[in-house]
Amino acid sequence: MWEKVKTFEEKIETAFKMRRLWLFFVSIFIASLLLVGGFCGLGYYYHNHVLPGIYIGDVPVGGMSRAGLTDYLETMNDKMMNEGLQFEYDVGGENKSIVIYPVLMSGSEAVELVRTDVETGVNNVLSFGKSGNWWLAGFEAIKSYVASKSVSLSGVSINIQRLMSVLAEKLSVYETPSVNASFMISSLEPMEYKITPSAPGRLYDLSGVPDKITYFWSRLEPVKIAVKLRERSPVITEADVESVADKLEQVFLADEILLTFTNPYTAAEYKWTIGADKLKAWLEAQRTPKNKTVFGLKKEKVMVFLEEKVAPLVVEEAVDAKFKMDENGKIMEFQGSHQGAKLDKDKTYQAINDVVWGRTLYDSGAPNSVALQVEIVEPAIKTADVNNLGIGEVLGVGVSDYSRSPTNRVRNITNAVKKLNGILIKPGEEFSTLKHTGPFTYAGGYFPELVIKGDEVKPEIGGGLCQIGTTLFRMAMNSGMKITNRRNHSLVVFHYNDPVNGNPGTDATVYDPAPDFKFLNDTGNYVLIQTYMDKAKQDLIFTLWGTKDGRQASYSHPIVSKWYSVGEPKDIETDKLKPGEKNCQSAFAGADASFVYTRVMPDGTEEKITFASHYRSLPKICLIGVEKPKEGETVLVPPVTEEIVGPIEG
């Protein structure tokens, strides 16, 4: 009997053990579900947010959403633009500083010396530390929280050529260039000359400036850079000149240098000579790549000669075959194509200089004749291509308002309109605004406008190109073209507001060499641009003709999600104006705007592209003339606006 009781007790104990074991496993299972659910929730959240513990430089951005990060980076970019780039330099033991604001005005267009592509920067920060799988983002978030990391923004670009030019110009007054030893020829027969001495110079070392700007800007830190004077030794010394002095007569005893060119289109022949008088004025001592001293020609002198005397007879634009139509689409005029020619001045100079080098290095055998280095430019559309192109239907029209434009701005727009009228675009060809409207020079038909540039008011050529880019942008979208390159202005300019609701957002900025406005002709047929200026309404009207393939296209009118106030007016003192004289530029409110461009292709495929534009605000800025600053005072280079509407105020 006791054995039976004991067995029963054992069974009870065993049952309790099984129950406890079952409860243990159930608890483990529930805890696992909660843990996995927590990780999934965490992963889902951080899939669309910046991982925790992430910094841009020293600025914490962990947990920010795409919209929040975009707004923050745009605000910081505007702040850094307004603060400018500060450079410290030494002059005679005194520390000085200069501030360069990274928006430069040229003509009626703004050039950003430093720019952040906010979208690229946002994508870079959002994806940092992530594998791309949202269900792993929870583990990645915990890992990032434990070990925080700093990231530098991608998408920071610097207009190095412009920026270094502005900086070098401001510092050049304190520099002493090195001087090479040379010679002064007083007589050719007999040969009489005097060697002039060399001297060391002191120049500011700007070699690392772009990298430092990129470093600070990409970390959202104020840009403050010290530049130092470095001693520069002359390249050519008195001993170098003396080593080749006995070759001087040989340079002049040889025949004059003959330049030749045959026009490939007309077969006309041209000749120019460089005789003893030019050699005497242009000659200098130079160093070869093998470190030998030779006689050569001053490049700046030869380039002026090529530009003024040679290029006008050589350079010829290639002429494309064109159609011109009336308002009903009837072809009014036919133009045949022919080749063009472009003078390569650098290669031509080198060829001429090689002749003079040869006269120093060799006693005889150096050539005396040089063929100009000319590039043959083929027309984009040849005469044979203009048959049966199917140019007969209006694909789309773009319109913009150029009213209240200054005289030279209207002239520039008129010039560009003439250049664009009748342009044929081949199937699969990418249209470039800059390609078809340049060159942006007096010779190219463009005029200057007065512009506040730094602390001066100067004339610059080419204002009004953004009117062209904006009209082309609207024409291309109404025609259903693929937009391949478009950038909005930095500021809201009334010329480019939407013609329907008056909001900013449907503009396209154009400036040589960048940015450019481009679109792709993906219709499979030729298309033709026709341009028209309605002088009564002061409207610009561009029409794209071609063959319809069934596509449909439209774009919504832009919506402004946020406006930014202009801020308090700024007065900036400058010694570039007479004391008391005042020149002002208008204030500009900032904005965030967007619209949707929709294409429905012939096969029914729908494409939607959102064009978002951020426009920075800018207060009214006036330059006020003062006496020249005293020694040691800080010099400020003031910011410049996107567009001066109407004449500069007095």
Mean of pLDDT values over 343-361: 93
* pLDDT score, position 535: 86
Q: Is 550 exposed, middle or buried (0-12, 13-18, 19+ CB in 10 A)?
A: exposed
Would you say residue 624 has pLDDT above 80?
yes
| pLDDT band, residue 366 (cuts 50/70/90) | low
pLDDT tens string 484-519: 999 998 888 888 898 888 899 999 988 888 889 999
By percentage, how much of the chain surpasses pLDDT 70? 83
Query: 617 to each of 82, 122, 550, 644, how far by Cα in Å?
Result: 10, 21, 42, 14
The pLDDT value recorded for residue 102 is 84
* pLDDT at position 455: 44
pLDDT: is 644 or 6 the higher one? Answer: 6
The pLDDT of residue 346: 95
Burial call 410-449: b when 16+ CB within 10 Å, e when fewer: bbbbbbbbebbbbbbbeeebebbbbebbbebeeebbbbeb
| Residue 624 contacts residue 574 (beta carbons within 8 Å) | yes
Across all residues in the chain, what is the average pLDDT? 83
pLDDT 10s digits, 278-316? 999 999 999 999 999 999 999 999 999 999 999 988 888
Share of the chain above pLDDT 90, in %: 40
Q: Which residue has the higher pLDDT, 23 or 350?
A: 350
The CATH number of domain 246-377 is 3.90.1570: no
Confidence tier at 383 by pLDDT (50, 70, 90): low
pLDDT reading at 457 higher than 50 = no
Mean pLDDT, range 447-458, rounded to an integer = 57
pTM flag (> 0.85): no
Where is pLDDT greater, at 184 or 3?
Answer: 184
Q: 355-364, 385-394, 477-486, 560-569: which has the minimum mean pLDDT?
A: 385-394
pLDDT at 331 over 70: no
Q: Which of 35-49, 123-137, 435-449 has the lowest mean pLDDT?
A: 35-49
pLDDT in tens, 219-249: 999 999 999 999 999 999 999 999 999 888 8
The SS3 assignment for 93 reads coil
Listed in order, the ranges of the chain carrying CATH 3.10.20 are 246-377
pLDDT for residue 644: 35
Higher pLDDT, 490 or 427: 427
Sequence-separated (6 or more) residues with CB below 8 Å from residue 12: none
Residues 6+ apart with CB under 8 A from 437: 416, 419, 420, 465, 468, 510
* Least confident among 23-37, 77-91, 546-560: 23-37
